[in-house]
Structure 1
Amino acid sequence: MSVSAEKLLNKIQSQWLEWIKDRVHFNPINDHDMQVLTEFSDYFGDGILFNIIENENHTLTLTDKGYTCWNMEMNGIDLNKKATTRNNLFKWYLKSFNFIENNNVIQKDNVKFEDLSQSILDFIQLLLRISDLGATNRANTRGIFFDDVKKYFNNDKEVFYFTTNNIALGKTKQQYTFEYNFTPELGVNKLTKLYNTLSKNTMEAIIGIYSDTIDYLADNYRDSSFNVLINGLTDNSKQFAEGLEEHNIQVIDFQDKELVNKILGKTA
């Protein structure tokens, strides 16, 4: 390595260490427990934090004390629901960084002092990766959204009365599946399709389905309505929601649970 290259490398390493040092802070809890506060933010805008605990054998344990799973759960995200895309990714991330999860606590045991710096960086990266499960790629997010919807409605069957995978036959002889048909009261049918995002193309496709199935729904479902459950409305997608509502298609933001309960629940 040339002298100039070595100087550049040293400068980069020095800048990197200084940058990390300014963004990671240590707060003693007691003689054997140190809280690590970082300026890195998770998907929900909260700072990444965890603890370093000194063990009797003079090794260290890095642990989030259950905060990550709890925070995700509070935001409607279940990391431990078996056989879901999110759970598979969660387990893969843990394995990749050599951490474990036990009773919702993410940790790494028996860390030697000489390995602590690397373990801290690994833990920060891991927690950021896990946090990003709130916003994975579109294909994965669609599966995760469907899982979240299923869990939400199944957990409160005193409020939501429904059947799933209802088929409607269009005038074009095309079959369409409505993921849910909510019956909040006798004789009322709120057929509902699920979409992770709402765009111009999606809006046009939904209007096409509505036009194709409107006669079938009127003939086969008493007092029926066409509803769309969306995984969050953005400022940009609200215009498309308005376009759907002009065609008597009810758009419901799944993130607005009060609205979901009001429109689809038995009190609706």
Structure 2
Amino acid sequence: MDIQKLINDYTDWLKSEITFEKIGEYYEITTPYLDSANDYLQLYVKQEDNQILFTDDSMTINNLKMHGITLTKNRKIQLQRILYQYGVQLDGDELIAKAPINNFPQKKHLFIQAMLRIDDMFSLSKTRVSSLFLDDVQEFFAEKEIYCTDNVQFMGKSGFSHNYDFLIQRSKTKPERLCQAVNNPNKTAMSNILFAWNDTKLVRGNNSQLIVILNDQNSIGKGIEEAFITYETKVILWSKRNNPNNIELLSA
């Protein structure tokens, strides 16, 4: 498998699919990424002196509210964690970020990832309306004494930074394992994770593994699980998390 070619193909596709339009003092950027409502993700940028201002025009939080999701105290804590992870701030309901002009590509990448992450983690399962999926995964790890570092970031070969929910350190018998909890396993989530992983793997070493925990209480998109497996990713379905093979995969 030519990983470098796959990364180049992905970035070429992304460049060709992104469109922009001047609206007042902002540029509206439309990405090929779909949110949980199957709408294309949009952000707005403008130059302020030698910096670029990024905003989502409050769309991310407003979409959550439109779907009846209330930001409880615990969810606000999780939201702030995600924002901190990607270097984004909340101004009222508006996601914002600033970056020097020469850091535009990296900051745009992180801003989009923050929007996608919030949309994914806060789109709650119909059967789990009281907590977030990431909370459930953390509680499961604690229950099974799976020791890990949460909220880690690595620089990929492309120069982009990529965030992972958990890092399980290598041991005498197990390789390093990076883990992502995926609340809504759709094509957008899959594409982002595989791009990040293929980019990260080039600098982390051949023995590193990626594990994705898919919330199958929500609908899993057609071909998603198979695509992860094709690209040498270990898949754990949430409903089968207590399977001995899955516990063994996560243990030290």
TM-score (norm 2): 0.47
Q: Which has the higher contact order (CA 8 A, sep 6+)?
A: 2
Q: Which has the larger radius of gyration?
A: 1
